[in-house]
Amino acid sequence: MKMLDVFAGLGGMSESFLMHGWEVHRIDNNMLLKSVPNMTIQDVRDFVTDLERKIDEYGIPEIDYVHLSPPCLEFSTAYNAPGPTAQRENREFIPSLELVEISIKIVKLLQPRYWSLENVKGSIKHLKPLLGEPRQIVDSMVFWGSFPIMDMGGYKPQHKKDKYDPGKKNPLRANYRALIPYDVSNRMRIAIESQKQLTYWF
C-alpha cells in the first residue's frame, strides 16, 4: 500500500501508515524537517511540475492514499493570526487559496483510491466553495476528501499547546502545534484498510 503525505510537517498523519508497513513518501519545504523519515524537501510547486513530467513520461502511478495539510495560518482564528489582526485593524483580509488549489491539482493528477485534506475550523468558510462540506471533523481538525469515515469512538482530544508547544523560540513550534496525533493517523489507516475492493468479491 502506498501513501503520499503532502505538507507533511513532522509526519503525524502518515506515522501509523509508516509503522504498519505502508510505503510512505512525505513532502515538505522546510529544511529543518529533513531528518523526518521518508521526507523529501521540495517546494510543492516544483513537486507538481515534476509530477506532471513523470506522468507524461510514465503514466499515473498507483497511489492508495494521498493526504494534504496545506499551511493554515491564514485561516486561523487565533488572536495574532492574519485574519483576526486585520479585523482589529478594520482592514479587509482575503486569505490565499493557492496551496489549497495546488492540493486539489495533485489529487486530480494522481487519482488516488482515497484522499484527504486537513485544515483548521477557521478554514471551513473559505474552503467550502472549493471542496464542499467537510467529510469529517475531529476535534479542531477538519477533513475534506474521499475516504471512509473514521471511527472516533473513545477518542480523547490532544491538548497540543501543553503537549507539543516547546516554546516560541523553537523554529519548529508551528509544526509541533499542527502535528496530527498518532491516534488519528491510526484510525484513518484502519478505516482505509478495512475497505473491501471489488476484486475481493470475485
Cell numbers that stand for 88 in this block:
482589529
Query: pTM for the full model?
Result: 0.85
Q: Give the distance from CA 87 to its chain's centroid.
A: 27
Q: pLDDT 10s per residue in the chain (202 long)?
A: 999 999 999 999 999 999 999 999 999 999 999 999 999 999 999 999 999 999 999 999 999 999 999 986 656 545 455 554 555 557 665 677 899 999 999 999 999 999 999 998 888 988 999 999 999 999 989 999 999 999 999 999 876 554 444 555 778 877 888 899 999 999 999 999 999 765 544 5
- CA–CA distance, 178 with 136 (Å, rounded to integer): 17
Domain boundaries, the chain: 2-201
Q: Assess contact for 63 and 112: CB atoms under 8 A.
A: yes
Instruction: Provide the CATH number for the domain formed by 2-201 in this structure.
Output: 3.40.50.150
Cell numbers that stand for 161 in this block:
499547546
Query: In Å, how far are 8, 17, 51, 85, 133 from 62, measured between CA atoms?
Result: 20, 16, 13, 43, 27
